[in-house]
Structures are given as structure tokens and as C-alpha cells.
Amino acid sequence: MKNKKSESQIKSLIDESSNCVIIPHKNPDGDALGSCLALNHFLLNNGLNSIIVSPNNYPNFLKWMPGENEILIFENDTSMGKLKIENADLIFTLDFNDLSRSGKMCDYIKMSSAKIIMIDHHERPKDYALINLTNPKIGSTCEIIYNLLNYIDSDAIDSNIASCLYTGIMTDTGSFRFPSTTSETHQIISKLIEKGANNSEIHQKIYDTFSYNRLKLLGIALKNIEKLDSFPYVIITLSQKELDECSFKKGDTEGFVNHGLSIKGISLSVILIENKEDNIIKISFRSKGDFPANIFAEKYFNGGGHQNAAGGVSKETLVETKNRLINLLKSYN
């Protein structure tokens, strides 16, 4: 019932607004972009001025989504981005619940006089929005957007919107295999296919796009995988040197960490990726079952996320981070 109230409040705010800005989190993934694009199509179709401002760029395998070429990249076009935020009367923040995840846009969002609507599915939302439409039990922000649009006007879901939502639901549920995938998820997916999402084509566009170098890099990651003695945990590392050898491009390591969980009996897979430019190690956690990846990431690596998929960072070296991680995991229960 709580969601219905937020949905009707959002409908009223859309009705009374004219300039909207939609913001995904930094390093947007399929769900962040899919939800932003779907909502943007809907608002544009309803005669509003609406634009997506992404904190930074996103990987090529997402650069086919309908409407994607209209996205403004804040990092590349900061003055226009600031202007759009300044002139907005309605701001949507999608697929995140902590303004710091909007990167350098954070301060401008805070200064804006626009009404802010958060639509998200992460745990423990921060208190910055006028309306929160959030539910951590739902597997993707796209599923929440589907429910919202379906509530406002089910006929408004056209094939562009359907393709964007399909993409985000597919990527955030690990192609419908994570426990967050419910019968309702499949019912929604069925509707999206009916509305024109080409499921087979979308799958190929997202997953069958490896470059030769990217597959080589996956090979190195898999070669580096180590299992902790007597623990159902594996750690993968990629050094900057290894990334350079494969001409690493943003997004190339996406999904690598999941391979650790394909080993029978493994309940946690962690990947540590060195980033010499920012002088950090970026860490991704994927777990099966009860291991609370988000709590672990938040407690020890300044991060967060979901129970089974979380991330964090370390400012130590790759070797130091790995050793600290191993010690923490061995004493964690």
C-alpha cells in the first residue's frame, strides 16, 4: 500500500512539472540506464521537457538502448549539466539511494530547488528526497519503474520503454537467475515482450559483445582465481599491468566476479581490480545465500550494495588489500 501512495504522489508531481532531470548512479549499469531511459521516454511522450544527465560515461554494450544517444554526460558537459539541474523543477534519482553515488553532481543536486524523487531498490535509503519509491525486495529499479508506469498508464509502455525495462530487469537479475527473480518478475517480462521488447536480440546485444582483448582479460582473471583454504570463498585479482596488457576499457571487467560463483560449493566471490589512476583498488563482492556482502563491504571497504552483490574500495596496494581481505574473511562469521 505504501508504494501505491508514492506512485500516486509521483503521478501528481509529474502532472504539475515541466522540466525534469533524471539521474542514474555513477558508472551506470543496465538497470540504471534502462530505468532512466524508460522514464525519460514516458515523460517526453507526455509532453514534458526531460533529459537524462549521467554522472559519467558508460560501457559500449549499453550504447544501443533506445534514446541513449540523447543522454548528457555530466563529466564531459558540466556547464550544460549544471544548467539542466538548475532549471529543473523535478529531479529523479534512479537506482541509487545515497547522493554521493552521483559523483560530482552531488553538490548541484543538493543546491537545486527541484523536488527530488528517489526510485530505487537498495537497502537503507538516505534521507534526501521528497518522495521515496524504494523496495529492496525487488530485483531491479526497472521493475519498480514498470509498476509505476503501469499504474499511471499501462498503454504508455511502448516498444522503446519495454526494451529499456527488459534490459535492466535482465541485467540486475543475472538473466532471471538471482533469488530476487519472482513470478511477478516473469509476468512483467512477459508483458514487456508483448509490448515489443525483443528478448533474444537484447540478450545478444548485452552479452555477446566481448572484444578479443576483453575475453583475454577474462582469461587472466580466471587464471588468477584463488580459493581460500577450508573456506567456500574465492578471490580474483587484476593488476593495472594486466589490465593494460589487454587495453582495458571501462566496463571490460563487468561480470567477471560472477564466474567465481560458478564453482560448486562456493558462496562468495570477490574481485579486486587495481586502478593506478585513482590510486584505489575497486572491489566487487558476489555471494550466494546468507553471506551479507553489503554489510561486509560497508564495514571493511567503505562500500555497500545488496546482500548478494556489493562493492567497495581500498586505498591500500593490491597485495595489501588481498591480504587484509583474506584475514578478514577467515575471521568473519
Alpha-carbon distance 191 to 121, whole Å? Answer: 21
Q: Minimal distance in Å, beta carbon 79 to ligand 5GP?
A: 27
**Residues touching ligand 5GP, count (CB under 6 A):** 10
* Backbone angle region of 209, left / alpha / beta, with phi > 0 → left and psi within -120 to 50 → alpha: alpha
Q: Which of the ranges 55-63, 81-89, 224-232, 297-305 carries the binding residues for ligand 5GP, by CB under 6 A? A: 297-305
Identity of the residue, 148 or 281, whose beta carbon is nearer to ligand 5GP in the bound complex: 281
Identity of the residue, 148 or 309, whose beta carbon is nearer to ligand 5GP in the bound complex: 309
Identity of the residue, 97 or 314, whose beta carbon is nearer to Mn ion in the bound complex: 97
Of positions 43, 138, 309, 325, contacts ligand 5GP by CB under 6 A: 309
Is 24 a binding residue for ligand 5GP by CB under 6 A? The answer is no
How many other β-carbons are positioned within 10 Å of the β-carbon of residue 60? 13
Of positions 152, 295, 313, 326, contacts ligand 5GP by CB under 6 A: 313
Of positions 7, 31, 242, 274, contacts Mn ion by CB under 5 A: 31
Give the pairing type, strands 226-227 and 233-238.
antiparallel
Is 95 a binding residue for Mn ion by CB under 5 A? The answer is yes
Instruction: Please report, for the chain, how many H helices and E strands are present, in that order.
Output: 12, 12
Is 284 a binding residue for ligand 5GP by CB under 6 A? The answer is yes
Alpha-carbon distance 155 to 143, whole Å? Answer: 16
Find the binding residues for ligand 5GP in span 217-256 (CB under 6 A): none
> ∠ CA(221), CA(227), CA(230), 5° rounding?
175
Is 312 a binding residue for ligand 5GP by CB under 6 A? The answer is yes
Is 266 a binding residue for ligand 5GP by CB under 6 A? The answer is no
Looking only at Cα atoms, what is the longest distance across the chain? 60
User: Residue 35 has which C-alpha cell?
Assistant: 530505468
Is 310 a binding residue for ligand 5GP by CB under 6 A? The answer is yes
Please report the sign of the dihedral spanned by the C-alpha atoms of residue 254, residue 211, residue 315, residue 28. Answer: negative
CA 187 to chain centre: 22
Of positions 7, 123, 143, 172, contacts Mn ion by CB under 5 A: 172
Q: Which of the ranges 47-55, 222-230, 304-312, 317-325 carries the binding residues for ligand 5GP, by CB under 6 A? A: 304-312
CB 300 within 8 A of CB 312: yes
Q: Minimal distance in Å, beta carbon 135 to ligand 5GP?
A: 14
Q: Which residues contact 109 (CB under 8 A, 6 or more apart)?
A: 23, 85, 91, 93, 99, 102, 116
Interface ranges with ligand 5GP (CB under 6 A): 122, 284, 303-305, 309-313
Interface ranges with Mn ion (CB under 5 A): 31, 95, 141, 172
